[in-house]
Structure 1
């Protein structure tokens, strides 16, 4: 996620320079053709087309931002649920003499840290093995890593450990229900993230805005050349840059877990969870993640 207040014009130009370069060449060709073979183009249809296209692109960008914001809200819920899970485990499980309950507390907390980092990697289509093994031994990690959905396997293991605490008499059924309710909230957040990741915008939302934007850029110099004359390539390219940029905004936001500079800062949020949970069990915690060149990952 870009957190710098300075506009990243260079990145924008890198995203759209190819269609913008083609547009500029086309603008020059139309301008030269106009002075060789003068013609008159009606301005009103182009104006109506541009207004309709602006509304269309705005609607698409709003839909893409809604997906991005929902992803951010779900990760906010994950942070809160993670804190609640650690707090419940530390408060409900006793401090017994032989240390079994204390070890179970640590196991639940560390397993959840492996879970959130593993989920982050899954959403970004990365291999979560290394992140899981940061917190779990190879023996503990073997079962979830053999699953198709590694994060869900880790969550199942946490539920089994809470059930064990009930069987051992360390917590009662009411406390088990409270902890299970937190796991349900975590699973619901994960399901929402997977829904966003695995369900792209409908094809019409992706195909037609691109088609109409490029068609408008083709018609733009034809409608402007009579007014702007030799300045048409500059004016048309600037107007085209605006429409191409708005089109690109929708492409950047449509997948909030794409491992790009525009996605939800999952690494930073996982680090927040890691700090809170490690401090809850008395372990040394890393420092909060800082933006890298104005980007928070």
Structure 2
């Protein structure tokens, strides 16, 4: 996620420079032909066309942002639920008998959120994930098709073991299980967003209409702008192409791109809070890189 207060103009141009270059060449061709050949371009209702295209783009961008914001809300729920699980583990389980058990629950939850992060990003499990899996002794959960869900199931069994050992009662177990339900619901919502792309017509038609508008744009401007048509038409096209690119950037909030959610930073936040809750040393938070991107 880009956290700089002002977006980089280079980043925007980098995403749209190819269609923008083609648009500029097309604008030059239309302008040259207009002055060389004895014809006049038909008057086009650009205001009407532009309004229709803007309507499509606005609806698409809002839909993409809703997906991005829902993903952020689900990860916010995950952070809070992880803290609640650690607090319940710390307060319900007795010391010193269950001290090792508390650390196992914390390690397992940290491994869980990192495994979920890797699954959502379609990445192999990294050292941060596997390290906490080893600390929690949860290697068998990684053999499942949904390793994150396997880790969560194992946490539920651990809580039941604590009840059987007499460390917690059924009411406390139920309270901790309700937290696991919240975690499972958040994971289900994330998987729904990841596995359900934006409907095809939401993606195809705005792209088609924007490119059609950019093709027609110089015909409507050449009479007024003259030799400045390539510049004016390209700048106007940049506005529409940039909005189109923004929708593409936001539609998958869990991809590992600069505009996507900072899953690594949020997993580190959970790691810090949970380790500190059981009195263990925690690493430093992840900060944005030199380009202003928080991963």
Q: Which residue of 2 aligns with 1:183?
A: 180
Q: Report the CA distance between 1:207 and its aligned residue.
A: 0.7
Q: Unpaired segments of 5 or more residues in structure 1?
A: none
What does residue range 142-291 of structure 1 map to in structure 2 within 5 Å?
142-291=139-288
State the partner residue of 1:39: 40
| Aligned mates of 1:156, 1:220 — CA distance in 2 | 58
Aligned mates of 1:164, 1:51 — CA distance in 2? 63
Shift of 1:104: 1.0
Distance 1:86 1:199 in 2: 32
Greater alpha carbon shift after TM alignment, 140-149 vs 187-196: 140-149
Residue 31 of structure 1: CA displacement? Answer: 0.3
Question: Deviations 1:47-81 (Å, cap 9, x if unpaired)?
Answer: 21111000110110000000000000000011100
TM-score, normalization: structure 1? Answer: 0.96
Matched, 1:141 2:141: no
Question: Aligned to 1:135, what secondary structure does the other structure show?
Answer: helix
**Would the aligned equivalents of 1:71 and 1:193 in 2 still touch at CA under 8 Å?**
yes
What is residue 293 of structure 2 aligned with on the other side? 295
Aligned partners of 1:179 and 1:257: how far apart in 2?
28
Report how far residue 141 of structure 1 moved.
3.1
Contact 1:129 1:145 in 2 (8 A): no
- TM-score normalised by length of structure 2: 0.97
Contact 2:108 2:136 (8 Å CA) reproduced: no
How far residue 138 of structure 1 moved from its aligned partner, in angstroms, is: 7.9
1:193-212 CA-to-partner distances (Å, cap 9, x unmatched) read 01001100000011111111
Count the aligned residue pairs. Answer: 293
**Given that residues 67 and 254 in structure 1 are in contact (C-alpha distance below 8 angstroms), is that contact kept between their aligned partners in structure 2?**
yes
Report what 1:127 is aligned to: 124
Q: Deviations over 1:122-148 (max 9, x none)?
A: 111111253332113289232111011
Q: Distance in 2 between matches of 1:59 and 1:251?
A: 13
The answer on whether the counterparts of 1:133 and 1:141 sit within 8 Å (CA) in structure 2 is: no
Please say if residues 118 and 132 of structure 1, whose CA atoms lie closer than 8 Å, have aligned partners that are also in contact.
yes
Q: Deviations over 1:234-283 (max 9, x none)?
A: 00000000000000000000000010000111111111111110111111
Q: Is the 8 A contact 1:12 1:245 kept in 2?
A: yes
Residue 117 in structure 1 maps to residue 118 in structure 2: no
Give RMSD over aligned pairs: 1.2
| Cα distance in 1 for residues equivalent to 2:85 and 2:173 | 11
Give the distance between the partners of 2:240 and 2:286, measured in 1 at CA.
Answer: 35
- Listed one character per residue, the Cα deviations across residues 190-232 of structure 1 (whole Å, up to 9, x for unaligned) are 0000100110000001111111111111000011101100000
Contact 1:116–1:270 (CA under 8 A) maintained in structure 2: yes
> Are 1:86 and 2:86 counterparts?
yes
Q: Which residues of structure 2 form unaligned runs of 5+?
A: none
